[in-house]
């Protein structure tokens, strides 16, 4: 059983995440093998790009069941950017396309586009305000800066899963958590010391789970 698997879904910058994990003494392995992913102690699920394409790709590569098994088995899973969005039920990015593919449905809610008039994508450094004392944000000051690049944001059905919010003309959800399932809209691997600290916290969550 691998300690930590970074999912290679064909739509992420895997090397930077791999190196960031190594910098906080995690021992990751990159894999697109559903058996390896399902058997891992913990998983990081990154993603960039178009929701519909990514959702279709993970299904074609037989990763859907592997990811859902990790979630069902209550193993720590961290979705990053599009990876977090894919944990949700559906996205406005693909809902009106022919043969639209839904998300994993692990978190009830929809992925929504920023309103007209706001510059998109939302790119650059922005402050993250934790909504609760979740261990993923332990030791990080409220308002720490993280790096974002996205045109869509998540809107959970239940406010209880909101771990953090960020202001971009209005407060949007920038992190979610439900038990061992977590997701962040920003890129911790591109967020300097704060991002490394968060990944280190994820490592502690993994250790506490076993």
Which tokens go with 52? 């519909």
Query: Residues, the chain, total?
Result: 210
Q: Which of 90, 122, 150, 187 is catalytic?
A: 187
- The residues that bridge with 148 in the sheet, in sequence order, are 124
Buried b (16+ CB within 10 A) or exposed e, 158-182: eeebbbbbbebeeebbbbbbbebbb
Among 128, 141, 132, smallest CA distance to 168 is for: 128
Cis amide leading into 186 (omega within 30): no
Question: Is 187 a known active-site residue?
Answer: yes
Which tokens go with 62? 């037989």
Question: Is 189 a known active-site residue?
Answer: yes
Q: Which of 21, 81, 93, 150 is catalytic?
A: 81
Catalytic residues: 81, 187, 189
């Amino acid at each position: 059983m691998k300690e930590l698997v970074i999912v290679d879904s064909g739509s992420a910058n895997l090397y930077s995440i791999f190196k960031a994990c190594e910098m906080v003494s995690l021992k990751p392995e990159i894999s697109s093998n559903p058996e390896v992913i399902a058997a891992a102690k913990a998983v990081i699920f990154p993603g960039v790009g178009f929701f519909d394409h990514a959702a279709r790709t993970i299904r074609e590569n037989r990763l859907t069941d592997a990811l859902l098994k990790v979630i069902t088995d209550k193993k720590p899973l961290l979705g990053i950017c599009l990876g977090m969005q894919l944990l949700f039920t559906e996205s406005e990015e693909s809902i009106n396309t022919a043969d639209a593919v839904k998300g994993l449905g692990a978190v009830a809610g929809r992925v929504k586009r920023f309103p007209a008039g706001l510059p998109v994508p939302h790119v650059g450094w922005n402050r993250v305000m934790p909504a609760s004392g979740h261990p993923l944000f332990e030791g990080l000051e409220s308002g720490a800066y993280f790096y974002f690049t996205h045109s869509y944001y998540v809107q959970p059905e239940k406010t209880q899963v909101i771990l953090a919010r960020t202001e971009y003309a209005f407060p949007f959800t920038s992190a979610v958590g439900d038990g061992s399932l977590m997701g962040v809209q920003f890129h911790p691997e591109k967020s300097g010391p704060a991002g490394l600290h968060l990944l280190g916290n994820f490592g502690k969550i993994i250790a506490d789970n076993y």
